[in-house]
Amino acid sequence: MIIDLHCHTVYSGDSNLEPEQLIETARRKGIEAVCITEHDSYLASEPAEEVAEKMRFPIFRGVEINTNWGHILAFGLRDDAWRENGYYTNIETVRIEIQKCGGILIPSHPFRVVGSASAQAHLFSMKFIAAVEVLNGENTPRENQLARSAWQKLGIPGTGGSDCHYVSKVGACATWFQNPVHSLEELIREIRSARVAPAYPARDGSYTVLTG
C-alpha cells in the first residue's frame, strides 16, 4: 500500500492545495491514502476529513510540529492542548504528549534548516522517535541523501512524504506499507513494526521502494 505520509492543505496557511485537489491528484497518481499533517494543529485538518468521507478516500490526520529541534510529524494527537505560545513548541512537551496518547514521532526533512532550528544536530539523540523521514518531496537531493545515510545508521524505520503544499508536488515521495492500513492505529502499528519503507515515483507510474 502506498501512502503519502506528509501533506498540507489550505488549512496549513502556507498551502494553496484544497483537500479535494489533494485527494483527486493522489488517486490519479496511484496513491492509496494520504496523511494530512497541517502545521502546528491537529484540529485544522478536520475539514479535510469531512471531504475525504464524501470522496470515499482514506486519510489519516497528524500534525507537523515546529519544535526547537526542527519539524517533527506527530501521529496520535487528538487536540491542540499541547501547543505552546511562541514560534517553537519545546520538543520535551511534544515527547510527553505523544507518550500519553500512545502515538509516534517522525522527524521530517531532518537535514533542512527551518528558521534557526534543525533536527540534524539532535537526530541521534532522539531515542523517542519511531522512524525518520528519509525522502521528502520538497528537499534537495543532498538533503534526502543525508537523511538516507542517517537512516542507515539509526537502524529504525524510514518513511517518505511529498510535503506537498501545491498540486504539482502531491506524491513526489511516499511510504510503502507492507500491509493494508485502515485506521490511524494500524498506521502507527505498521510504522512501529518496521513494515514500511520510503518510496519515490518510477517512470511507469508505480513507486520504487528504498531498501536501505
Q: Which CATH superfamily is domain 2-209 in?
A: Metal-dependent hydrolases (3.20.20.140)
pLDDT at position 120: 83
pLDDT at position 46: 96
pTM: 0.95
pLDDT at position 115: 64
28-32's contacts with Cβ under 8 Å and 24+ in sequence apart are 29/170, 29/171, 29/201, 29/205, 30/2, 30/171, 30/205, 30/206, 30/207, 31/2, 31/3, 31/4, 31/170, 31/171, 31/174, 32/1, 32/2, 32/3, 32/58
pLDDT at position 9: 97
pLDDT at position 116: 61
Block mean pLDDT (10 aa), the chain, length 212: 98 93 97 98 95 97 96 97 89 97 97 76 93 97 96 97 97 98 98 98 94 82
Copy the grid coordinates of residue 80.
Answer: 491542540
Domain positions in the chain are 2-209
pLDDT at position 86: 82
Contact at 8 Å (CB) between 156 and 140? Answer: no
